Structure 1
């Protein structure tokens, strides 16, 4: 009974924490639309007709149209591309296949604004494509809706790829063999048996692509310097950082953004229930790519060309531009310089200050997020807490909800006058960035922790409790040593994601408290491409080295 009570107390504590970090800010966005003055102490029913103004105000309507066009177009193309690549990767063995897997993960963890900046530097007028390669047509091809969908597709297809690739880990050849014995062709077998079995994974991947695309802030923020393409996330940001501040506009656009993402999640759950196939049985075997070498060389070559596009262009463009003295000087050897890198580390550089601030925020969020994620995973794995499903949904919600919406909610929640009397007026302080970073890190940490805890039987904890060990003692001396590797991976993942979160940082950064992503993005907006590219390459390299050094040190200590 004492064990159950301790778990219930933990469950209630985690519920309250997730409510403050996630549910309350998101609810505040919707409440602000219905009761616009409630967070200022004014109880007055809002003008609900304002929700319909999105169809009358040109900027609001255009933002909605662009987001839908970008989201639907990217979902269609990225899901098709990701599914095709996953099928090829699972079916045939070819050289450089591991490089494709690595590139997929690199695209997932790389902030979208960095990838978008690389494409802008490549395709813009006077950019690499036109000046170095002589491809003047690239600018017109990229800076249009279809081109932006193409760029977004190349950065979002990993969600569909991983979803389908994971679903193809096991196969039941008996079904296909039976169909072939009945006279079905290979195409018929694929269309009637294999494709329907993959449908849930394809739909799951498509929903992830749509939600991540429609809430993406990085691409519109990066292309704003050279091409005007307002979307819901960027217009929400503009409403907060223009004079006068338009909380009504931010609230309405956030409402529609949340509704679109909610509809996508509901559609996914509905389709998955309608398309459930339990096909794993005693006849299931782990799938292995075919060793047929007839097309291996061709697939390997095509894969290299594909990687040069999806990784080489955005990363390579940043490297090249960071080494140019001036844009007008052309791509000659005489124009190559390290001056931008020297400028980064000068005493007057804003990058060092912003990088220091981001390091503090990321480290704080990683450590505190580990505590929250550990508690969430414990409740989900071992507890019979009656609101466990609410905790599970809340812990993954920030994966789907855009950072700009979460940031708007934090403004409404933590910018109330009565909080000042109790010392909790966090808006305008770095602590609000830490809270937002924790909210963003909890889903990743929780998923890693749940997977690790699933391997630790509850009987170990129960036996320790029967011997008189305390709840904290069981966690400290039994559970943590057994999942230490997962804890390290979760902490480093949270640290890396917290460093480069542009959306939340752009919405919530306090006055005169610049952070790394804001510093890079401001340099890019000011058309200081050389400095912005050098800052991107240098900061990314430093963060990677920090992660590798910490992992090497702690992993070696763990082995010793």
Structure 2
């Protein structure tokens, strides 16, 4: 009986968090007057959308930038991942940590940091006289900024694939007379190609849904994307809900096509161990190649981590940007202002931390129940629960925001979370639900079904087996996923900008508003604290996962 209640409750939560916002987006896209309660003139908004002058620019800009980001991410991440996975480099964990930082840095903060470095009279021109303003505010600049933020998905995909598969097959080829290049081309590259394709397509998906970078850099370069087009239709008067919904459907279609292509290319390809015994892949000695490899990794680390990080930290301690990088222009007043009772920073921090904690708890609970029902209980209809819990991975944040507006901004609801902090909590839970589902599902698959079956044989109910057997064993993965959700939710931007009630600010909205108001120092001081906090939480999550993995072995 309890199992049925849990199944029904989980399904209801997934419907509210994921299915209903999507349904309302589709209904608004099909029926332009749906927000007014009318189902008349079905599909009439399509012709208006096709006639929109900016549609080709938005669609073309989205695809061009996303493809460019995927390609540049592969050009950066693939050689670094091969070097990390095949060779025994000095300080290997240091490189992993270094390349984890760009992925933890919110893209909009990275874009704002690069603006301060490369714009006219920026830090680069002040220190060297070099002006790269025109490069930054162009399609090429947007692609480079986004790729330097996203390339770690390719790096970690390739390096982890190589570390897992090892070099046994390529060594066998070398023993039989193949050259190092021939063994790599015919053995190693085909084995790592699914991981490379998955990383590139993930980079593509992350790029098409990005809002902060094109919003920060695209205005001055004339570059428009679907995400900025959707935001404009919702922000400018008169609000165009039908147009925003149609653009959201287009964006979701592109994202789903990318995910479908990824599964098509990688879903039927597996790399297996032929020995049956796991061995530690220590990597080959690189010899003289170690020098160029370390130089390459150092250069990428400087560009992706050190320069934007230094720009962020430096901007937080400069009294005025126009005063230049001088000792007499240094101040701690921006950090002092953040903790001042008269400022909004403490309130924004408290709001973000509270919402992030709530999102971590809700997604952790829903993710645990959904994974348990799908992986362990294998209930009827588990495919629906599995699909609903993973669909948000392909949903851009701005689409989730549009769906929640359409769903909850209705007169017929007796009680609505719209225009309250609850709507932000719902958006974070929807966006970040796949994290706990993936981590907990993976941990449950490693456990097998013997322990719970033994508990059931000795009279335990499914709920008791979940509480006393399954939960303690998967708790490290659950806690790690919740920490990741907390870290990401605490600095989420796009849905916060769309859904935050009047007078409420989150950390991301506070930083964005500070730049809009010209208070760059306070914005970057807050961004620095946000990055440090997120890094600490992510390292904590990784440490918990590693200890959990050692405990299982």
Match of 1:14? Answer: 10
Compared CA separation, residues 170 and 473, structure 1 to 2 (3 A): closer
- Kindly indicate whether the alpha-carbon contact (under 8 Å) linking 2:197 and 2:265 is maintained by their aligned counterparts in 1: yes
Distance 1:413 1:73 in 2: 35
Distance 1:37 1:12 in 2: 33
Match of 1:64? Answer: 59
Compared CA separation, residues 41 and 215, structure 1 to 2 (3 A): same
**How far does the alpha carbon of each residue in 1:250-295 deviate from its partner, in whole angstroms, 9 at most, with x for none?**
112112111111111222222235x625543227865332124323
Matched, 1:243 2:237: yes
Q: How far did 1:147 drift?
A: 1.7
- Kindly indicate whether the alpha-carbon contact (under 8 Å) linking 2:484 and 2:541 is maintained by their aligned counterparts in 1: no
- Kindly indicate whether the alpha-carbon contact (under 8 Å) linking 1:366 and 1:491 is maintained by their aligned counterparts in 2: yes
- Kindly indicate whether the alpha-carbon contact (under 8 Å) linking 1:94 and 1:293 is maintained by their aligned counterparts in 2: no
Written as runs of structure 1 = structure 2, the 5 A alignment for 1:429-448 is 429-448=420-439
Q: Which runs of 5+ in 1 are unaligned?
A: none
**How far does the alpha carbon of each residue in 1:359-385 deviate from its partner, in whole angstroms, 9 at most, with x for none?**
111111111221111101212320222
Q: How far did 1:550 drift?
A: 11
Match of 1:481? Answer: 472
SS in 2 for 1:168: helix
Compared CA separation, residues 170 and 463, structure 1 to 2 (3 A): closer
**How far does the alpha carbon of each residue in 1:511-542 deviate from its partner, in whole angstroms, 9 at most, with x for none?**
11111111111111233211211121134445
Distance 1:494 1:143 in 2: 32
Q: How far did 1:214 drift?
A: 0.5
SS in 1 for 2:151: helix
- TM-score when normalising by structure 2: 0.91
Identify the match of residue 276 of structure 1 among 269, 273, 281.
269
Written as runs of structure 1 = structure 2, the 5 A alignment for 1:41-80 is 41-48=37-44, 50-80=45-75
Match of 1:527? Answer: 518
Match of 2:107? Answer: 112
SS in 2 for 1:370: helix
Match of 2:21? Answer: 25
- Kindly indicate whether the alpha-carbon contact (under 8 Å) linking 2:88 and 2:284 is maintained by their aligned counterparts in 1: yes
Moved more, 391-400 or 328-337: 391-400
- Kindly indicate whether the alpha-carbon contact (under 8 Å) linking 1:368 and 1:438 is maintained by their aligned counterparts in 2: yes
Moved more, 149-158 or 293-302: 293-302
Matched, 1:355 2:346: no
Distance 1:540 1:179 in 2: 45
Distance 2:540 2:162 in 1: 35
Match of 1:91? Answer: 86
Match of 2:301? Answer: 307
- Kindly indicate whether the alpha-carbon contact (under 8 Å) linking 1:66 and 1:231 is maintained by their aligned counterparts in 2: yes
Written as runs of structure 1 = structure 2, the 5 A alignment for 1:191-340 is 191-223=185-217, 227-272=221-266, 276-282=269-275, 286-340=280-334
Distance 1:128 1:247 in 2: 41
Distance 2:183 2:443 in 1: 37
- Kindly indicate whether the alpha-carbon contact (under 8 Å) linking 2:104 and 2:534 is maintained by their aligned counterparts in 1: no
SS in 2 for 1:483: helix
Distance 1:157 1:362 in 2: 26
**How far does the alpha carbon of each residue in 1:84-142 deviate from its partner, in whole angstroms, 9 at most, with x for none?**
21111112222243222112322223221122221111111221111123221x21222
Distance 2:206 2:57 in 1: 19
- Kindly indicate whether the alpha-carbon contact (under 8 Å) linking 1:112 and 1:218 is maintained by their aligned counterparts in 2: yes
Distance 1:315 1:504 in 2: 25
Moved more, 147-156 or 181-190: 181-190
Using CA pairs below 8 Å that are at least 6 residues apart, which structure has the higher relative contact order? 1
Match of 2:503? Answer: 512
Compared CA separation, residues 270 and 538, structure 1 to 2 (3 A): closer
Compared CA separation, residues 129 and 53, structure 1 to 2 (3 A): farther
**How far does the alpha carbon of each residue in 1:461-504 deviate from its partner, in whole angstroms, 9 at most, with x for none?**
23333444444433333222223322321221111111111011
Distance 2:106 2:142 in 1: 16
Compared CA separation, residues 550 and 405, structure 1 to 2 (3 A): closer
- TM-score when normalising by structure 1: 0.90
- Kindly indicate whether the alpha-carbon contact (under 8 Å) linking 1:78 and 1:160 is maintained by their aligned counterparts in 2: yes
**How far does the alpha carbon of each residue in 1:141-197 deviate from its partner, in whole angstroms, 9 at most, with x for none?**
222111211111111111112222222134475654665577654433333333222
- Kindly indicate whether the alpha-carbon contact (under 8 Å) linking 1:125 and 1:139 is maintained by their aligned counterparts in 2: yes
- Kindly indicate whether the alpha-carbon contact (under 8 Å) linking 1:7 and 1:385 is maintained by their aligned counterparts in 2: no
Match of 2:162? Answer: 168
Distance 2:439 2:168 in 1: 34
Compared CA separation, residues 356 and 70, structure 1 to 2 (3 A): same
Compared CA separation, residues 522 and 46, structure 1 to 2 (3 A): farther
Compared CA separation, residues 203 and 302, structure 1 to 2 (3 A): closer
**How far does the alpha carbon of each residue in 1:36-80 deviate from its partner, in whole angstroms, 9 at most, with x for none?**
2334421213344x3355554233332222111110111112123
Distance 2:205 2:473 in 1: 35
Compared CA separation, residues 258 and 442, structure 1 to 2 (3 A): same
Moved more, 92-101 or 534-543: 534-543
- Kindly indicate whether the alpha-carbon contact (under 8 Å) linking 2:201 and 2:259 is maintained by their aligned counterparts in 1: yes
Distance 2:471 2:175 in 1: 53
Compared CA separation, residues 349 and 292, structure 1 to 2 (3 A): same
